[in-house]
Amino acid sequence: MKELIGMSLSELKEKLDKKEMSTVELVRAYLDAFEADRKHEKPLNGYIEVFRDSIEKAEKADEARVRGSARPLEGLPFAVKDNIVIKGKHATCASGVLKGFCSPYSATVVKRLVDAGMIPLGRTNMDEFGMGSSCEYSIYGATRNPVDRDLTPGGSSGGSAAVVASGQAPVALGTETGGSVRTPASYCGVYGLKPSYGTLSRYGVVAYGSSLDQIGILAKTPQDIALMLSFAAGADPHDMTSAPTNFTNCSPLKERDIKGLKVLLPTEFLGEGIDPGIKQKVESFAQWFKKNGAQVDTDSVPILQAAVAIYYIIAPAEASSNLARYDGVRYGNRVRQTANLEEMYVKTRSEGFGKEVKRRIFIGNYVLSSGYYDAYYKKAMQVRTLLRREIEKVFSKYDLILSPTSPCPPFKLGEKVDDPLAMYLTDICTTFSNLALIPSLSVPVGTTGAGLPVGVQLAGNRFREDLLLEVAAMYHKEGSR
């Protein structure tokens, strides 16, 4: 069992294709890993729910292989974050306000992967509605880091990162608004891709910040992400922001000679607030680029200093609008012992939302309110436009932007939960790519002196996910020698 759950998705695909194991054996191995973890003194709590019908689906996958009618990804399991809907399954966004909600349809990305033969294993824990950086703001309790169970796995897709890193799933879907795939990937020592805005359909993703949200992929190797992306990407008539991308040619990943690539290392991501151990890993990655013939320049991009401030105006503003629909009327939980409709609204939302969600709704309502809209939201949108233009200028000269994924290693559970500003600053290196709509990939590059995982971030021009994955695959290959 340990051998199976330690394999990458691509290795598992090869074994299934060669009929060296059955899908039932594979799915049982992951379910057994989940059950074993539940008996641990400190369970990871990565899954909110595992799907027991996955065994039945595994049996059907094996039957399809016997008949010779197997689909391209037949029988490969994956985990799904609790804010990405699956038909017939609960989706609560780890929030009391959606307790009991069962989805009548599947997200486009889920449907495409299932149509290709993949099997959803379960739904993973998260910060409520994606609002958090530590996977502690959940009605189901915090998720722990498999590297050290007293530490956070990062958020908001902490459950997805934890189940991949611990061998409870080979790959997982997460979501990104400002770093929620890449930060958990960094903290748990796995790969995490935030695609370009539009690469993956947002249909079926419960909205947080609609101009920023994206589905992301967490996996053990760049090849695994490329495999998922090759089936999941592309235009979707249900999502008018989706783009007609085609990444079928990125799997298998090509061997890339990085000689001649131009890489920018912004000084804004090397200064105050960056852990020295992480800074050293980023500089080592820069040396790896140079050793292989790439050009690495260190220079200032001043507008990057504004990214976190812009993000924490725009994202809460969009959240306050998106979360207005949770009123106890149409779906989700409802407080029934109330005198009138207004009281029902107030009590349902007061009892259903957690403190971090309420905090961001308050911030969002404030920056959108009369008298403050121009000073905050409008100004933030103007600066976002400037940021996008400056990033476009960077990519007119460079192929990649190199930076830390997170300014700090994973921290102790509870350490920052009552300090919102400190929590928000963990997004200092990631939010710019969400604001600029570009892809970014967190690459695991070893550990700090204290043995804590470190991720280095590669950002590329819009729809250049293939370049990020090919460079990461070369680094991964060299690291495994």
Per residue, the 3-state secondary structure of 384-436, as one string, reads: HHHHHHHHHHHHHHCCEEEEECCCCCCCECCCCCCCHHHHHHHHCCCHHHHHH
With respect to residue 156, please indicate whether it lies within any of the assigned structural domains.
yes
pLDDT of residue 272: 87
- Residue 29: CATH number of its domain: 3.90.1300.10
Which one from 180, 186, 320, 442 is the annotated catalytic residue? 180
- Judge contact between 288 and 256, C-beta under 8 A: no
pLDDT of residue 337: 86
- How many Cα atoms within 13 Å fall on the side-chain side of residue 383? 21
Residue 374 is given by DSSP the state I
Which one from 81, 89, 220, 281 is the annotated catalytic residue? 81
Q: What is the pLDDT of residues 224-273, one digit of tens each?
A: 999 999 999 999 999 999 999 999 999 999 888 899 999 999 999 998 89
Q: Which residues pair with 50 in a beta bridge?
A: 122
Q: Is 156 a catalytic residue?
A: yes
Give the count of beta carbons closer than 10 Å to the beta carbon of residue 80: 28
With respect to residue 92, please indicate whether it lies within any of the assigned structural domains.
yes
**Domain span at residue 88?**
2-250
- What amino acid occupies position 414? G
Instruction: With H, G, I as helix, E, B as strand and everything else as coil, classify residue 441.
Output: strand
pLDDT of residue 478: 84
Question: For the chain, how many residues are written?
Answer: 481
pLDDT of residue 119: 98
- Judge contact between 288 and 254, C-beta under 8 A: no
- Judge contact between 157 and 126, C-beta under 8 A: yes
Token look-up 């233009």 returns 389
With respect to residue 311, please indicate whether it lies within any of the assigned structural domains.
no
Domain count, the chain: 1
Residues of the chain with pLDDT under 50: 481
pLDDT of residue 157: 98
pLDDT of residue 202: 98
Instruction: With H, G, I as helix, E, B as strand and everything else as coil, classify residue 193.
Output: strand
pLDDT of residue 1: 62
With respect to residue 31, please indicate whether it lies within any of the assigned structural domains.
yes
Q: Which residues pair with 59 in a beta bridge?
A: none
With respect to residue 369, please indicate whether it lies within any of the assigned structural domains.
no
Q: E strands within 126-261?
A: 171-176, 191-194, 214-219
Q: CA nearest 197: which of 442, 466, 471, 436?
A: 436
- What amino acid occupies position 99? K
Which one from 95, 103, 106, 156 is the annotated catalytic residue? 156
What whole-number distance in Å separates Cα of residue 185 and Cα of residue 234? 24
Q: What is the pLDDT of residues 47-106, one digit of tens each?
A: 999 999 999 999 999 999 999 999 999 999 999 999 999 999 999 999 999 999 999 999
Q: CA nearest 194: which of 471, 390, 459, 419?
A: 459
Using alpha carbons only, what angle is made at residue 153 by residues 150 and 156, rounded to the nearest 5 degrees? Answer: 135
Residue 265 structure tokens: 């290392």
With respect to residue 467, please indicate whether it lies within any of the assigned structural domains.
no
With respect to residue 348, please indicate whether it lies within any of the assigned structural domains.
no
With respect to residue 83, please indicate whether it lies within any of the assigned structural domains.
yes
- What amino acid occupies position 406? S
